[in-house]
């Protein structure tokens, strides 16, 4: 008997190399994960770095339904980052790809490796705006007030 299906939300961001290509490759890799289906994608957004360095970011959100455990999903996400050339030379360095697990169903996890829900999701316009594309009920009016000064623009189609 298999594990229950869980809805997960994954934030995607990139600002080094070819950010748009890295985001598209990450979406492709996420839908190919084992025991994972139903990928939904937010719009793509351009954001100025917030508590980070380098050029503007391309950001998005993915919604997937998965039977992977939260640690297994997170491990796959780290491998996708590495495949995109992600290195961490210093805190908040520019990145070819950054994947953050924002929600894993209703799970609340506090381990050395993984904290869920993501502890800073409400502080980041680059998480809230794409999340609102997929699950608007999760974003409260007070959340928008908290990120009012953060620049985020949809990419032109």
Tell me: the pLDDT tens digits for 87-137? 665 555 567 899 999 999 999 999 988 999 999 999 999 999 999 999 999
pLDDT tens for each residue of 16-67:
889 999 999 999 999 999 999 999 999 999 998 876 667 899 999 999 999 9
Q: Which residues are catalytic?
A: 86, 95, 98, 100
Domain boundaries, the chain: 6-147
Structurally, at CATH architecture level, domain 6-147 sits in 2-Layer Sandwich (3.30)
Tally Cβ neighbours within 10 Å of residue 24. Answer: 17
pTM: 0.93
Cis status, amide bond into 103, omega within 30 of 0:
no
Taking the C-alpha atoms of residue 25 and residue 155, their distance in angstroms, rounded to an integer, is 17
Q: How far apart are CA 143 and CA 93, in angstroms?
A: 26
Residue 124 near residue 132, CB atoms below 8 Å: no
Residue 73, CB-side half-sphere exposure with 13 Å CA sphere? 29
């Amino acid at each position: 008997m298999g594990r229950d299906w869980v809805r997960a939300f994954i934030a995607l961001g990139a600002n080094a190399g070819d950010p748009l290509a890295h985001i598209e490759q990450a979406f492709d890799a996420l839908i190919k994960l084992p025991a994972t289906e139903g990928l939904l994608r937010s719009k793509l957004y351009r954001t100025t770095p917030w508590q980070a360095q380098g050029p503007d970011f391309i950001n998005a959100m993915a919604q997937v339904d998965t039977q992977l455990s939260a640690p297994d999903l997170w491990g796959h996400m780290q491998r996708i980052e590495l495949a995109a050339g992600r290195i961490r030379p210093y805190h908040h360095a520019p990145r070819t790809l950054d994947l953050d697990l924002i929600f894993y169903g209703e799970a609340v996890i506090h381990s050395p490796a993984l904290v869920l829900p993501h502890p800073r999701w409400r502080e980041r316009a680059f998480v809230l705006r794409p999340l609102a594309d997929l699950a608007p009920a999760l974003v409260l009016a007070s959340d928008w007030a908290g990120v009012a000064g953060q620049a985020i623009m949809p990419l032109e189609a």
